[in-house]
Amino acid sequence: MVYHSAAVLIYRNALALFCAAGIAVSPVSESSLRGAIAAKQSLKGVVSLPSVACNDRHGPTAADPAKLWRYLRAGINYLEASGRNVPTRYKHPGGKAYGPLALTPIAIKDVKLHYPLLSAYTLNDVLSDNELYEKFAAAYAELLLKYYFKIDYSNMPKEEVFEVLQKGWFLGPTLYKKGHPVIASRQKKALEYIDSPTIII
């Protein structure tokens, strides 16, 4: 009962994030629905968020979710793919992460576990559809920040939210909560993103 209530709460928070972010909703592409079960057909896809062209250090807190998510997404993309718009099926060195945000099969499985409307999708579905990939990424960010780390980031500077998210994204929730550091080269790159208003993604 407690688990079900927590799952419902997380799902509602994610929907609020998607809606507040002003993400346009459109039907999932026809190719991604071939052979899909009814649960998949009833779900609508989320259009990819626009990239961030300028890092305004005096920019939004989470009170402006649209700008916050664009900032967070661009930062994760900068760390994971050097700002490149690689295909969702692009396999990162090490073979455990895919696409412009380095989503892992474990992260995708975690999202499926906590978000009922996303549970019917397979790893192959996510890696075959850009819109679905973006939706899973936003859901995973929400899952890390609100469910695992229990952070109320509504009044936090976006740079602090990014610091937490990028570490959790790289380490996973267990190692992050145990206080493991990220590798020095990644942390240096994260600080570059935070400190530079001119990084173009």
Question: Is-contact 166 79, C-beta < 8 A?
Answer: yes
Q: What is the CA radius of gyration of the chain?
A: 16
Q: Which residue has the tokens 């994971």?
A: 80
Please name the residues in contact with 10: beta carbons below 8 A apart, sequence gap of 6 or more: 114, 115, 142, 143, 146, 147
Q: Domain for residue 201, yes or no?
A: no
Cα–chain center distance at 42:
22
Q: Domain for residue 30, yes or no?
A: yes
pLDDT at 68: 87
Task: Please indicate whether residue 18 or residue 138 has the higher confidence score (pLDDT).
Answer: 138
Residue 7 half-sphere exposure toward CB, CA atoms < 13 A: 14
Task: Please indicate whether residue 13 or residue 64 has the higher confidence score (pLDDT).
Answer: 64
Q: Which residue has the tokens 């807190």?
A: 61
Question: Is-contact 181 66, C-beta < 8 A?
Answer: no
Domain extent, residue 8, equals 2-195
CA separation for the pair 160, 148 (Å, rounded): 16
Q: Domain for residue 79, yes or no?
A: yes
61 forms bridges with which residues in the sheet? 157
| Number of folded domains that form the chain | 1
Residue 185 has pLDDT above 80, yes or no: yes
CA separation for the pair 24, 134 (Å, rounded): 12
pTM of the predicted model as reported, rounded to 2 decimal places: 0.70
pLDDT digits (tens, 9 = 90+) for 94-127: 878 999 999 999 999 999 999 998 999 999 999 9
Q: Taking every pair of C-alpha atoms in the chain, what is the biggest distance, in angstroms?
A: 48
Q: Domain for residue 83, yes or no?
A: yes
Phi, psi of 46 (to 5 degrees): -110, 130
CA separation for the pair 3, 74 (Å, rounded): 32
Q: Which residue has the tokens 């057909």?
A: 41
pLDDT digits (tens, 9 = 90+) for 23-58: 333 333 333 333 333 334 333 333 222 222 223 333
